[in-house]
Structure 1
Amino acid sequence: MKKIGFLSFGHWADHPAYKTRTAADTLLQSIDLAVAAEEIGMDGAYFRVHHFARQLASPFPLLSAIGAKTSKIEIGTGVIDMRYENPYYMVEDAGAADLISGGRLQLGISRGSPEQVIEGWRHFGYETAEGESDAEMGREKAMVFLDRLKGVGFAEPNPNPMFPNPPGLLRLEPYSDGLSDRIWWGAASNATAVWAAEHGMNLQSSTLKFDESGKPFHIQQAEQIRLYKDAWKKAGHEREPRVSVSRSIFALINDQDRLYFGQQGKGSDSFGYIEADQRAIFGKSFAAEPDQLIKELAQDEALQEADTILLTIPNTLGVEYNIHVMSSILDHVAPALGWR
């Protein structure tokens, strides 16, 4: 059994083929999509975060709105770039969104990925310390965020406050119990997956990772997940970890599906550079008739290792079509693979 969610990048553009012409279209349709996804039995609604782009950026207003209009579906991110964040303010935002949703927040964070602008985090007022890389800064902020999520007091109270304080040092409010166990780290390498396990975070592994062996993408990703699970066990954490992988999967049910995605299933893994000196491997998309799709997905080792699958969706095609895409997987593919 696996949890199945969707992952939206939240694109918009003034394009005649798009259902999302504006930022408002994307935000409001994202809420509608999460509500409809819950109704058909999807387990999660996840959203990517990109700055300086016509895509979803500030996640907490959206997550809170979805939390208020749904009751069961998990809501989360995949991922928030910690280089841009104030971890203290983020604790408050995350705590509020989690309480509004009744404890359904699954927050994916990471040190960040290639950006739309040069060192965009500097425009948000952040600088690296002397000798520190931006990746190190992102991980350090993540550690502060995790520590403050525990709800332990750390701030000296004012002896003459506007309102009475409880005894002792003060913590950030609102505090949401259990949220610290629902933080995920987006890892592009084996080493950062192990690091995430050591620090008690769940693992998000997307449709790309650094090419560390030359093997097919799904095999490298499966190896990454196994290293993560081994590190989690060695760290002695009491709870069981969760692992998600992202996939572009389209069941070709009708002519519209074949028009949109009929050629995508003929592709294969590809290679590129997401950093100047680091080769990356990108997993292929899956698009086929359900019977063929089932055969192909059954050979994906990483899917077997993960407990959560995030289906990357074409949000620009609108709510109705994306619900069709998700329903096709739930009805025609998931049962045969034992996911349901």
Structure 2
Amino acid sequence: MKRIGFLSFGHWNPSPHSGTRSASDVLLQSIDLAVAAEELGADGAYFRVHHFAQQLASPFPLLAAIGARTKRIEIGTGVIDMRYENPFYMVEDAGAADLISGGRLQLGLSRGSPEQVVDGWRYFGYAPAEGQGDADMARQHTEVFLNLLEGKGFAQPNPRPMFSNPPGLLRLEPHSAGLRERIWWGAASNATAVWAAQKGMHLQSSTLKEDETGQPFHIQQAEQLRAFRSAWKEAGHQHEPRTSVSRSIFALVNDQDHAYFGRQKGGDQFGYIDRYSAVFGRSYAAEPDVLIEELRQDEAIAEADTLLLTIPNQLGVDYNAHLIESILKHVAPALGWR
């Protein structure tokens, strides 16, 4: 069975046409949608992180709130930009959110994407070391974060503390056992997918990938997933690897669906982003029988164990729940995903 979840970018806009006109709207509706998705039988609620934008930013309060309102669904990010993160404080936040959810956190990290401001991480107090770039800094923050998640003591205790300490060096608290094995990396290239496997992180691959061969997006992405699994096996990790892909998929089952998405055209797009050649994968929008046949041809979806449906969050909770239900009910069973 393929795990199926949703991925929200958490947009809001004061326009009267938007169902999310404020940050409060987005946060509260995100919680409600996660609850609804769990009730529908979906497997995951994932959220994108962007700074300096009218989108979701600091993820842990939201993840903790969803964890307190749900019981089964996986709760995650796709992805946290590690250029901006203090790995020590992040370990504490992540540990608390994971414990509140009962160990359901699935944290996706990455080196980040083009942002709203120039070098926004500098405003957060970070800068790459001399001779390094911001991607190097993101990976260094990530490696520190992964090491801290192991829960090993490293800090010298005060000989006269306010409260008594356990013996030995101290670790960050709260510690959530098992979270280290539920960390993902959002990779845009085959090389970074291999690096993630070597570090024991699962792989998130989005609708955008570095164009490395000129082939169709889904073929390049499937090759990336296979390269990841090969590197994982070679690294000899004890836990099982997971891979996810993101897609915009809309089953057209009523007039409203046709009005919103009926005119969308398929096809990959090739271009440049952040100074490298990139390919952006197509969207899928069709009646269920047509959609099923189109999705059968997507090699990367077939290769991945988890599918994240990117949702138009500004259309509101009820409509997005309908979109998720349409895939679970009309599409997934015919493809063997359910």
User: Which TM class, normalised by the smaller chain length?
Assistant: over 0.9
Alignment of 1:1-20 (within 5 A): 1-20=1-20
Tell me the residue number matched to 1:274: 273
Distance in 2 (CA, whole Å) between partners of 1:42 and 1:248 is: 16
What RMSD over aligned residues (CA atoms) do the two structures have, in Å? 0.5
Distance in 2 (CA, whole Å) between partners of 1:79 and 1:139 is: 14
Where 1:220 maps in the other structure, the secondary structure is helix
Tell me the residue number matched to 2:90: 90
Tell me the residue number matched to 1:170: 170
Alignment of 1:26-175 (within 5 A): 26-175=26-175
Amino acid at match of 1:298: R
1:247 and 2:233 matched: no
Amino acid at match of 1:296: E
Where 1:84 maps in the other structure, the secondary structure is coil
Where 1:153 maps in the other structure, the secondary structure is coil
Tell me the residue number matched to 2:223: 223
Tell me the residue number matched to 2:308: 310
Q: Give the drift of 1:195.
A: 0.2
Tell me the residue number matched to 1:189: 189
Q: Give the drift of 1:110.
A: 0.5
Amino acid at match of 2:268: D
Q: Deviations over 1:265-285 (max 9, x none)?
A: x22100122212x11100000
Amino acid at match of 2:60: F
Where 1:237 maps in the other structure, the secondary structure is coil
Where 1:49 maps in the other structure, the secondary structure is coil
Q: Which runs of 5+ in 1 are unaligned?
A: none
Where 2:95 maps in the other structure, the secondary structure is helix
Tell me the residue number matched to 2:208: 208
Amino acid at match of 2:61: P
Amino acid at match of 1:56: L
Tell me the residue number matched to 2:179: 179
Distance in 2 (CA, whole Å) between partners of 1:208 and 1:338 is: 26
Amino acid at match of 1:287: A
Amino acid at match of 1:95: G
Tell me the residue number matched to 1:320: 318
Amino acid at match of 2:281: G
Distance in 2 (CA, whole Å) between partners of 1:274 and 1:236 is: 34
Distance in 2 (CA, whole Å) between partners of 1:305 and 1:62 is: 30
Tell me the residue number matched to 1:236: 236
Distance in 2 (CA, whole Å) between partners of 1:90 and 1:74 is: 19
Distance in 2 (CA, whole Å) between partners of 1:158 and 1:130 is: 34
Q: Give the drift of 1:109.
A: 0.3
Tell me the residue number matched to 1:335: 333
Distance in 2 (CA, whole Å) between partners of 1:322 and 1:172 is: 38
Distance in 2 (CA, whole Å) between partners of 1:104 and 1:150 is: 17
Runs of 4+ that moved beyond 4 A: none
Distance in 2 (CA, whole Å) between partners of 1:15 and 1:279 is: 34
Distance in 1 (CA, whole Å) between partners of 2:29 and 2:141 is: 31
Tell me the residue number matched to 1:291: 289
Amino acid at match of 2:320: N
TM-score (structure 1 length as normaliser): 0.99
Matched length: 338
Amino acid at match of 1:284: R
Amino acid at match of 2:311: I
Q: Which runs of 5+ in 2 are unaligned?
A: none
Amino acid at match of 1:338: G
